Structure formats: structure tokens, C-alpha cells
Amino acid sequence: MAAVSQAITYAAVDAAAKLNGLGIMGALHEDGRTICLLGPETGFWKVFKISPEMLDGAEDPFNRWSERIIARMADILNAEARFPFGGPPYEPFMRWAMDSGRAWQSPVGMLVHDEAGMMVSFRGALLFDQEIDLPKPPIASPCETCDTQPCVSACPVNALSDQHFYEIDACHTYLDTPAGQTCMSQGCIARRSCPVSQTFDRNPEQSAIHMKYFHRT
């Protein structure tokens, strides 16, 4: 499909993303270019679960789907596709996210997003050789107005905390227990405890697949 010739707008990029269950989870200008970070929105699971990558039984369905879909978007929108996997070296998605003004470091170290909370994730990015007009980001992190900060104390084995951030061995050991099956089937309890996460309609089936792949690493 031929690339578009007219000037690209933020709304056009977001509309193209939404057709695939994605949304712009952050955007920024850097060195005269525009970087749009793409991540799953509420319609993602409906699109993804019937995709060839999900149904063929092969490894890495999320990454293969992301490569196909975002590369196609890049071709249509005259952009370059970038992905948070496939390294090293790896693209600086964490820095891009925080520089966009829509993601911050949470009290337990993981990113927290203004709309997705701690359920934020990125499937790829589009890089444009022009500065696209961008909407103003939020003024501050939602953590600044979160009085209880449940993410700090939600993990039953304290694998995530404000003292040591993430202890992966403690997390993996807990996931092998009967009590840990709730995290395996619904997603990390600390991430789910975030009040902003609870307003983001993340399908439990999607979280369960991510947890399956995470637990195998």
C-alpha cells in the first residue's frame, strides 16, 4: 500500500492505531522528529485474539503481531517502525515514555501511565521525520495524588516495594504456589492495585498470556 502524501497529524496516527486496538501512549519531539509510542488500548484483545499470530501456535505471538501491524502502519503513514524487543541494542522506550510526559516511575519502580496506570505496555513506536503538533501532556504523575499508594504493599511476598523495587526470584517462586495462581490468571496484583490501572479495561486473558511468558523467562 502506498504511503500517504499529505501532512501527518496526531489524530491521523491515533486513528490508524485504534483500527488495530492500539493507541498513542505517549509522543515526543526529538532531534526534529516525532516519536509516537503505541500500546494496547481497551479494544486490543478483541483484535489480537483472532490474529494469525495468536492462532498459529508459534512462539512470540505478541512480538510477531506487533512487527506485522506496526510495520504496515509505518508504510502507510510514511514513518519508521521501532520495537521494544529484538535487541540488544534496545530502543530507549522507557526514556521515551517518561520524556513524553505521560509516564512516570511509580513508587515501586515500574512505569505508571496517565490512562493505563501500571498496566501500561508498548508494542512499538512510529518515528516521523517531522515535528507533528502534539497535545499537551498531563501536569503531574497520578502517584502524586494517590494517598494510599497500594502498589507499595500489594505484593504478598514484597517482590515490589519502595525499598528494593523488583525481586524477580521472590516473584517467580510465589507464582509457583497455589496462592500465586491469581497473579498468573489475572496479572500482577501490584500492577492491578493501582487505582488508575483499575479504570483501564485490561482483559484478564491478555494478562494471563503475558504472565505465562514472563514466568517462563
5, pLDDT greater than 90? no
pTM of the model as a whole: 0.91
Residue 164, domain member (yes or no) = yes
**pLDDT grade for 4, boundaries at 50, 70 and 90:** very low
Integer Cα distance of 33 and 31 in angstroms: 5
Would residue 47 count as lying in a domain?
yes
Alpha carbons 96 and 93: distance in angstroms, whole number: 5
Query: 3-class DSSP state for residue 79?
Result: coil
Q: Indicate the range of 28-42, 109-123, 153-167, 188-202 predicted with least confidence.
A: 153-167
Contact 199, 117 (CB under 8 A): yes
Query: Is 4 part of a structural domain of the chain?
Result: no
**Biggest alpha carbon distance in the chain?**
56
Q: How many domains does the chain have?
A: 1
Question: Is 196 within the bounds of a domain?
Answer: yes
Categorize the per-residue pLDDT at 2 as very low, low, confident or very high, splitting at 50, 70 and 90: very low
5 inside domain? no
In a domain, residue 1? The reply is no
Q: Which of 73-82, 114-123, 152-161, 188-197 has the lowest mean pLDDT?
A: 152-161
65 occurs within a structural domain: yes
Residues 6+ apart with CB under 8 A from 186: 192, 204, 207, 208
- pLDDT tens, position by position, 60-71: 999 999 999 999
Q: Which residues constitute the domain of residue 111?
A: 10-216
Which residues, 6 or more positions from 215, have their beta carbon under 8 angstroms from its beta carbon?
A: 172, 175, 184
- Start-end of H helices in the chain: 10-18, 44-48, 52-55, 61-77, 93-99, 151-154, 168-175, 181-186, 189-193, 204-216
Distance between CA 22 and CA 142 in Å, rounded? Answer: 22
Q: Are 4 and 77 in contact (CB under 8 A)?
A: yes
Please name which of 37, 194, 200 lies closest in space to residue 109, comparing C-alpha atoms. 194
Per-residue pLDDT reduced to its tens digit, 92-151: 999 999 999 999 999 999 999 999 999 999 999 999 999 999 999 998 999 999 999 999
Q: How many Å apart are CA 204 and CA 210, to the nearest integer?
A: 10
Q: Is the dihedral of CA 174, 180, 183, 184 positive or negative?
A: positive
- Residue 43 pLDDT class (50, 70, 90 cuts): confident
95 inside domain: yes
